[in-house]
Amino acid sequence: MSAVSEKEWLVWRMASVAIATDAIALEQLSNELISQYTDSELAGIWRQARLVLTEEDECWLEDELYRILVENSQVAA
C-alpha cells in the first residue's frame, strides 16, 4: 500500500468539501492552501479535484472559490 502525498490528500479534501457544499470548510481549506502553496501548485490541486466532481459540484466549487477570492481582495484593499 503506497502512501498518499500531501497534495493528493488536499485534492481529496477539496473534492469532498465541494461534494458536501460546505462553504465554511472550503474557506478554511482555501486560506490554508493559499498560505502554503504557489498559484501554480494551487491550480494543479484544483485541476485534479475537478476530475472527480460532477458538473454541479465543480460549478459550486468554482463559484465559491471566486467568492473567496473577491472577499480576500476586498479585505486586502
> Considering its fold, how many domains does the chain have in total?
1
| In contact, 26 and 68? CB cutoff 8 Å | yes
Q: How many CB atoms lie within 10 A of CB 17?
A: 23
Report if residue 20 sits inside a domain.
yes
DSSP string of 42-65, one letter each residue? HHHHHHHHHTTS-HHHHHHHHHHH
Report if residue 31 sits inside a domain.
yes
Model-level pTM? 0.78
* Domain span holding position 61: 6-76
pLDDT, tens digit, for every residue of 15-59?
999 999 999 999 999 889 989 999 899 889 989 999 999 999 999
